[in-house]
Amino acid sequence: MAEPIGFIGLGIMGMGMAKNLVTKGNSLIVWNRDISKSEAMATEFGCEIAQSAKEVIEKCIITFSMLSTIEASDAVFLGEEGALCGISPGKCLIDCATLTPEKMVQTEEIVLARGGLFLEAPVSGSKGPAEQGTLIFLCGGNEELFGRVKPQFEAMGKANFYLGPVGQGSRMKIVVNMIMGGMMTLLAEGLALGSASELPLADLIQILDLGAMSNPMFRLKGPKIINGDHTVNFPLKHQQKDMRFAVELGDQLGVSLPVSAAANESYKRARLEYGDQDFSAVFEIAKKQK
């Protein structure tokens, strides 16, 4: 019987990832702050439910985590029942969250001090790819561990990259999401300008798709934006978090990011009202501007 895999965090992304792991031959021990998510996995797939994040680590050699923010990470990783208290020699933690490079380095230091191994593995992709098993893993940290968990990456994704020491995976993810967030902001402004010009917006999306700017995001999100459908796949508040990380990284490295800084301001304006909707809801702010 294969060793069980641990999984901490069954939110928008984690649930799909965990389901792909278990349907592709892995037995799971799961934990989530909202126990109803763990119970759903136990009912549907027979997964074992741990009583704490610490217990997941203690019972598994390899544990994946997918948490949404630094605050969530601190709440789950730290404290007497936190995941990091379960680390002992030989234990392996793979953190798939999008956090700052500095936060990932701090986590690695704690894991190494306790005799464990650590890999950061933030993902490119949202709810749909998580459910479909087509995520892209951007990894930094222990290269031997990267090789060991390739079968699990392949169960959850379509590609995985080893980018060097811890921090490099997070930096790559920040750059990727910065570009994506900027593209969405520009699409939102284009649709807002098209609407104000009384242009047929469905035609605009088709014209974009027929030219050099064709891309899956515009193709998928454009019609939904036109119909006012911002059903969440990637929450706007998380896109704003990632834009903030990008601007901060630019400040640290002396790289000017005026377009991304402006996009960040658009997401900040949208966050209060639309933070829990899809990041495409930045359109609602664009169309309100006069």
Give me the mean pLDDT over the 107-135 stretch.
97
Place of tokens 């763990």: 38
* Residue 48: predicted pLDDT: 97
Identify the CATH number of the domain in which residue 44 sits: 3.40.50.720
One domain for residues 52 and 178? no
Give me the mean pLDDT over the 182-196 stretch.
97
Place of tokens 């990284």: 249
Domain endpoint, select from 124, 148, 165: 165
Model confidence pLDDT, tens digit, residues 23-76: 999 999 999 999 999 999 999 999 999 999 999 999 999 999 999 999 999 999
Q: How confident is the model at residue 289 (pLDDT cuts 50, 70, 90)?
A: low
Q: How confident is the model at residue 212 (pLDDT cuts 50, 70, 90)?
A: very high
Q: Is the dihedral of CA 104, 107, 109, 115 positive or negative?
A: negative
Give me the mean pLDDT over the 126-131 stretch.
95
Q: For the chain, report the end-to-end CA distance as a whole number of angstroms.
A: 63
Identify the three-state secondary structure at position 215.
Answer: coil
One domain for residues 212 and 140? no
User: Which residue range forms the structural domain that includes residue 83?
Assistant: 5-165
* Residue 39: predicted pLDDT: 97
Q: Check if the beta carbon of residue 123 is closer than 8 Å to that of residue 13.
A: yes
**CA torsion angle 149 51 25 128 (round to 10):** -80
Identify the CATH number of the domain in which residue 265 sits: 1.10.1040.10
Model confidence pLDDT, tens digit, residues 196-210: 999 999 999 999 999
Identify the three-state secondary structure at position 39.
Answer: helix
Pairing of strands 123-124, 135-141: antiparallel
pLDDT beyond 90 at 1: no
Rounded CA-CA distance 105/231 in Å is: 34
pLDDT beyond 70 at 97: yes
Average per-residue pLDDT in the chain? 97
Give me the mean pLDDT over the 225-241 stretch.
97
Q: How confident is the model at residue 90 (pLDDT cuts 50, 70, 90)?
A: very high
Place of tokens 């549907």: 44
From the list 286, 282, 262, the residue with the least C-alpha distance to 273 is 282
Residues with a catalytic annotation lie at: 173
Rg (CA), the chain: 20
Structure tokens at 265: 């301001």
Domain endpoint, select from 138, 165, 192: 165
Rounded CA-CA distance 107/113 in Å is: 10
Domain endpoint, select from 122, 140, 165: 165
Pairing of strands 135-141, 157-162: parallel
H helices present in 78-200, as ranges: 101-113, 127-132, 143-148, 150-156, 168-196
Outline where DSSP puts E strands in 122-220.
123-124, 135-141, 157-162
One domain for residues 101 and 189? no
Give me the mean pLDDT over the 257-268 stretch.
98
Give me the mean pLDDT over the 250-269 stretch.
98
Which percentage of the chain shows pLDDT scores above 90?
98
Give me the mean pLDDT over the 266-278 stretch.
97
Q: How confident is the model at residue 290 (pLDDT cuts 50, 70, 90)?
A: low
Q: How confident is the model at residue 285 (pLDDT cuts 50, 70, 90)?
A: very high
Tally of domains within the chain: 2
Q: How confident is the model at residue 2 (pLDDT cuts 50, 70, 90)?
A: confident
One domain for residues 135 and 28? yes
Q: Tell me which amino acid residue 266 is.
A: S
From the list 2, 11, 3, the residue with the least C-alpha distance to 232 is 11
